[in-house]
Structure 1
């Protein structure tokens, strides 16, 4: 008797169909679920030139009125600042801040050092994306929102906008996101303004898998939220988290120049505290990542992440400026060399940061 040898790759699809044919509809979903893997993306060689960006968020509400650190920030160490956050209404209008002075002063201080300023929209105010979806799915509202945004940018002499649309949970929502970004990009490009967005870290974040990288063609850069990770290394923003986040998006063919690695200036653990609070409590905390059941990014980790980004990304994103440590007039200790903004800048410049050595 002769046997016919059939290569396994020829019968594997038939076996899969046989298994799925015996499943009820809900079982089929269980088999596919979030584990369904599309054809792998084949990435072309990335030859895009890298312009390294140093992007920071800044929230005026968090500043102690007696210690306004806006005038203490070393803007020459930055390239972009995002003012957080402008409130967006469901009718496409934007809420002008009750106190306009912080935004106006930010623009003056930053522009004096040739630093670009944008407003950030979304995040805490529209965490479930209800407003974004409503606007993106209505062409009239989309047009109204874009026009209002352009007017706001012109009124405050801004350089761009950062869209913080998080937790994409379906392909249809990703498509809505894409439509909104396309409409924004068209108008902002004509005005000579930039468009950035936030993106989840990747591997352990189901929202990342729902985002089509086609959306990224409309943005100048992407602030990758490589913190508050759900992995199991006990740290909310380890060096490995940063590597995993950049690898995830790089393997999905996002060019290096568009990826801006996010780092936190705050702790997680038994309490959420700013880096400034931690270091003023004990200066030695600047050189470690854990203290009193809190974890954060100390100077050595920030240096390592910056060096990794220099080889694998297009910039560093800092969240958030008001949580960094600054030298104030009444300080009896020199804190300037412990500033994470300065640490990142010195590392980018190729200088050795020796404060923790």
Structure 2
């Protein structure tokens, strides 16, 4: 549980302030402003930690322009390199956000946009990207917003850069607590977006007088309310960057000062008396943020655990001693600290131990001191050597690592209860064919026991367990002096299961038993099937791995709807669509259409409202019947419409309904007629529709499952009490395998039948030569334990 604290030396006895990763002062620039180039040369770049280049914006397909051809890009890139400033870029803007919904509702464009962003960042050494979509107002647009952010997150992850490259979104400042307005900027962003971003760039300015009632369009109170409201929306404060303005608006009309665009800036408005305007928030009836308000905002966002501040627009500043950028930099300086960051780890339990040694992972080097605290006060104060501390009682403990008058700290909760792990899930076995459940490291004095369906798994007493078959798995953790705890995970399986077999000697027969009829293979990618059935046996001269797969293909291609077109006429693509109900996840491979003329054919998969586009594909086609490839993947269960709205030509509609509805059991249904729309919504039609030969893929292509035959003469079932006696025995069990009964020859004594799970199935006392048994056994692998006064012998048999 991380806390970062930084205390000014002069105020050590008075206060402590949260230290967060970042302490960012972010300059945001619109490079297209008229004076941007001249002012960029005047700025003190070292007063910024980060810089956002605005804007590099995509086309409707997600393609980005080459930034080296954009205004000031090369110059700004060099300035950032020369001054140690992290370079980001932004896409969008207040008047240039129209393409994002088009991109976000098209999976191909979304993936391409994410790739383009990553390519630009990788090529130019950037560290972040900002989505400035102003604003995704509808639910559909917010789905597109999340689609884009997830795609960028996944692309960064795939390139191994997710920790290094950062994702931000810009959001508005007219939020509920600022003042009543009906619809708020918090309504223009999905909470689902927050999981994919690192920074929330809050545009806490341009707030209307009729909303906040403040003279200032970006007051301190409005900033506080913004943070509260976006946090209530679901965004952690640790991701928030508070926007601050370097420009003014009228206190009542919120209009801009008369004159050129740059006349709204603090830099120009303050020219006649810089010292005065630097220390106040207004000039006449026009309000901005002077240095005192900016410093107050820095203190607030940092003490709340935020990331820092973002400036719109950074070139609006002065470039002398009355620079607002300098004021922000200087105020942020007290939140910077060179002390190393301790890490006390996750909450820990005293159960099973008389004490626990806490260690923050910081070595006692020159210049460092260590302070340990609990909830009642200081335990060790400013020690140069106390990098660890032993605790005997539960409670909240804090380690502060001090250097040069500031500290970073971490807390850990020491409990008197066993920590309950999270096993995750539910899981499905298919690809991969097994999953490792992990309960975390085993603390001293703790005991672990894994179970399946509430039954102990023999020997499964470690922190992790590899699951290869379906069931409800449980980890039970116990420790002396504490109540046991448990956690469960549900596992389903689309693949067969078999235990590995252990034989005693090379040349023995190994038998593998699956829980269903399977195809057995010699190699993972073999095409030739060795055997089909649940029991597979072979003579093994060395350790061997065989592979099994279900006997039926789990991924199947289907074709539905009519196979040929009937009589019809040329109809508008805006009026007809085919309704499908998807019953299990599937992909649409393609379908057949009959354009009335050549042109661009656009096919769409829409939600049940008949309006929201989920996937779309365009083609250049000629007139006449033809099959087209769609490759629409990942279609979840639900109701959808397929239409051709947006095509440049009409399509031939089949006017004769099918004899019956179409159905692929468990996969898809579609009615025998299409739907038509002459107003806002689709309704059933008497016509069949535009589309034939709908091809789709459903099911899952699972991996093959490896199963081993292991030669181990030291295995338990291979050991005997009197090996010299057993070597001379001529005891035999035949036939083996058997589909009826077994006969045991040349043995007298007791016989015990053990199944492959180690359970006693049957016992026989004082059997004699030519003893028959096993006619009532279920099919499977068994171990026959033969015992008399001379020793014990074990032999494996197979009942088919």
What TM-score, normalized to structure 1?
0.76
Which residue of structure 1 lines up, in the alignment, with residue 334 of structure 2?
350
For the Cα contact (< 8 Å) 2:31–2:55, is it kept in 1?
no
**What are the residue-to-residue correspondences of 1:45-64 with 2, within 5 Å?**
50-51=20-21, 52-62=23-33, 64=35
Aligned to 1:22: none
**Rounded Cα–Cα distance in structure 2 between residues aligned with 1:117 and 1:108:** 10
Measure how far apart 1:94 and its partner are: 1.9
C-alpha contact 1:87 1:125 (8 A) present in aligned 2: no
Instruction: Report the equivalent of 1:28.
Output: none
**1:248 and 2:229 matched:** yes
Counterpart of 2:325 in structure 1 is 341
The answer to whether the 8 A contact 2:186-2:229 is kept is no
Whether contact under 8 Å (1:63, 1:322) holds in the other structure is no
> Which residue in the other structure is 1:291 paired with?
283
Alpha-carbon distance in 1 for matches of 2:143, 2:296: 36
- Structure 1 pair 100–216 and aligned structure 2 pair: CA distance change class (3 A): same
- 1:191-211 Cα deviation digits (max 9, x unpaired): 332111111222256231242
Contact 2:245/2:312, CA 8 A, preserved across alignment: yes
After TM superposition, the structure 1 = structure 2 runs for residues 3-14 of structure 1, keeping only pairs within 5 Å, are none
Q: Secondary structure at the match of 1:216?
A: helix
Whether 2:192 is the aligned partner of 1:214: answer yes
Partner SS state of residue 195, structure 1: strand
Query: Is the Cα–Cα contact under 8 Å of residues 278 and 324 in structure 2 kept in the other structure?
Result: no
Of 66, 69, 74, which residue of structure 2 is paired with 1:104? 74
Map 1:1-357; keep pairs closer than 5 Å.
50-51=20-21, 52-62=23-33, 64=35, 68-96=38-66, 99-100=69-70, 102-126=72-96, 129-189=97-157, 190=159, 191=161, 192-201=164-173, 202-203=175-176, 204=179, 206-230=184-208, 231-269=212-250, 270-271=256-257, 273-283=264-274, 284-312=276-304, 313-326=306-319, 335-336=320-321, 338-350=322-334
Q: Distance in 2 between matches of 1:64 and 1:170?
A: 36
Query: In structure 2, what is the Cα distance between the partners aligned to 1:297 and 1:210?
Result: 26
Tell me the distance in 1 between the aligned counterparts of 2:214 and 2:123. 46
Report the Cα distance in structure 1 between the residues aligned to 2:310 and 2:46, rounded to whole angstroms: 15
SS of residue in 1 equivalent to 2:25: strand
Unaligned runs of 5+ residues in structure 2 are 5-18, 251-255, 258-262, 336-800
Deviation at 1:256? 2.0
Q: For residue 11 of structure 1, what is the aligned residue in structure 2?
A: none
TM-score calculated relative to the size of structure 2: 0.35
Per-residue CA deviations over 1:132-158 (Å, capped at 9, x if unaligned) read 000000011112222222222233332
1:291-344: per-residue Cα shift (whole Å, max 9, x none)?
132111111111111111121222111111111111xxxxxxxx22x1111101
Report the CA distance shift for 1:350/1:47 in structure 2 as closer, same or farther (over 3 A). closer
Runs of 5+ in structure 1 lacking a partner?
1-44, 327-334, 352-357
More strand by share: 2
Between Structure 1 and Structure 2, the one with more helix by share is 1
RMSD: 2.4
**Which protein, 1 or 2, shows the higher relative CO under an 8 Å CA cutoff with sep ≥ 6?**
1
- Give me the whole-angstrom Cα distance separating, in 2, the residues matched to 1:146 and 1:321: 28
What CA distance in whole angstroms lies between the structure 1 residues aligned with 2:242 and 2:2? 18
| CA 1:132–1:282: 2 relative to 1, 3 Å | same
What is the CA distance between 1:102 and its match in structure 2?
Answer: 1.6
Q: 1:281 to 1:186 in 2, by over 3 A?
A: farther
Asked if structure 2 preserves the Cα contact closer than 8 Å seen for 1:77 and 1:345, the reply is yes
Aligned-partner Cα distance in 2 for 1:281–1:104: 35
Q: Which runs of 4+ in 1 moved over 6 A?
A: 45-49
Residue matched to 1:332: none
Measure, in 1, the Cα distance between the counterparts of 2:35 and 2:145. 36
- Bigger mean CA offset, 136-145 vs 263-272: 263-272
SS of residue matched to 2:56:
strand
Distance 1:165 1:216 in 2: 15
Provide, for residues 105-137 of structure 1, a one-character-per-residue CA deviation record: whole Å limited to 9, x for no partner.
Answer: 2112112232211111111342xx431000000
